[in-house]
Structure 1
């Protein structure tokens, strides 16, 4: 069995090799960007695609997955219990394919939950943590690793290769989906932006980044099925909660509370639109 330490050493060697190749690719992309507007855009997109392909061959997210699996199985909290009886929607302890069906309605909680809300719920009910303890430090920063990000990496990795299949069978699921749709088109903040401003039109770009049209099947599937992801620029695995938090921050919206129902609603809307796509996370992003 490969330990976390062994995986770390293996990935360190991979990452060093990949980093050198990535630098060369980045230089090529910059050179292309300076060679002329029309040609540069196509060439830069091509080089960025090569860059992502090379990085994917040594994705450090494997370390987060391994650490998350250890946390899932390790007894913790006042009740000294593991999370192996946590029901993610497919029965206590079943992780395979669970993320591909989230968010969903949970009768025991009486509400629709996304993965991170559900993990916090299980940490409270099974391990005896307070809500504040269960959601402490949801996003990693320098010297402060996040337990939630590691747990999320493990659980999402268990759905790799599974088709997205988010349902709207319960009345609450339908209500939350409708709320998420409203949130997607809601304009606000200092820039009077909505999610749809950037993600409901074909061919949008910001700097060197293509912006997927999340209202198309192809765009929704390509975007949603690759999060969570290891962010090369941040050196951390970032979850869907973080992705949406950061989007709202850039729109200059009020900061959403971690695990808030409005973020779950927006996630529900995006996840349902990605149905049929093959999940391929945790992935890797710039």
Structure 2
């Protein structure tokens, strides 16, 4: 497994450092297929499953009673129906904020520790592994966010407004990069989020393992980095603006199969 990951990383590194003219000739679809065949996200999934079943925190409890929307402890198919409104939390939550809620209420691990933390470190890194575990059990499921709930509909509309809202010193919006077909940045094809298929592609391929940095990124991490690249104020982890954008993408991609977890360059 380690040899395969190393080989894949070398191949991708060669592709990304090749001259522009050579890059045009490379078949990046073939590279993506090769990467997906041995997706290192599986390692995070295994870690997440162990974390799900391990008693931790001040309450020395597991997450096996965490309700992701389909009943206590039900993981299969849950990610495909998130974000959703949760009565106990009194808000619309995506997968990460729901897991954070369960870690707080069931295990006593303060949400503030995750919100104030850093990506890839501490409890936020453990949360990412839990995300990998949960989404794997919705791979191949059709995205099915319930937009009939007034709170979810409200969040969807906020996400749509945010998608088109220009901000930052570069006067960019999400739509600046994700509202046309055929756009790309280097080897990365940019999905057209304004279409149902593009929204499903963007939503249903994150979280993902990033070969170029040997890191596993959740959707919260991906969207946070989009704000950073726009030179805009970076959103607080778990804030409504991220959940709204997630709800917009997921809701627009309803009915299309998710491919979690993804693998990126």
Helix, strand or coil at the partner of 1:112: strand
State the TM-score, normalized to the length of structure 2: 0.93
1:240 aligns with 2:240: no
Runs of 4+ in 1 over 6 A off after TM superposition: none
Give distance in 2, aligned partners of 1:179 and 1:205. 26
Query: 1:225-276 CA distances to partner (integer Å, 9 max, x unpaired)?
Result: 1110001112111000011001111111101000101110110001111112
Give distance in 1, aligned partners of 2:110 and 2:202. 33
1:104 aligns with 2:84: yes
Match of 1:275 in 2: 254
Deviates more, 1:196-205 or 1:95-104: 196-205
Give distance in 1, aligned partners of 2:92 and 2:124. 27
Q: Is the 8 A contact 1:138 1:148 kept in 2?
A: no
Change (3 A) 1:218 1:20: same
Alignment of 1:171-250 (within 5 A): 171-250=150-229
Give distance in 1, aligned partners of 2:107 and 2:114. 9
1:34 aligns with 2:21: yes
Helix, strand or coil at the partner of 1:178: helix
Q: Which runs of 5+ in 2 are unaligned?
A: none
Match of residue 76, structure 1, among 56, 64, 68: 56
Q: How far is 1:168 from its partner?
A: 1.1
Q: How far is 1:134 from its partner?
A: 4.5
Q: Which runs of 5+ in 1 are unaligned?
A: 1-10
Is the radius of gyration larger for structure 1 or structure 2? 1
Q: Which has the higher contact order (CA 8 A, sep 6+)?
A: 2
Q: Is the 8 A contact 2:144 2:251 kept in 1?
A: yes
| Number of aligned positions between the proteins | 265
Helix, strand or coil at the partner of 1:275: coil
Give distance in 2, aligned partners of 1:88 and 1:138. 24
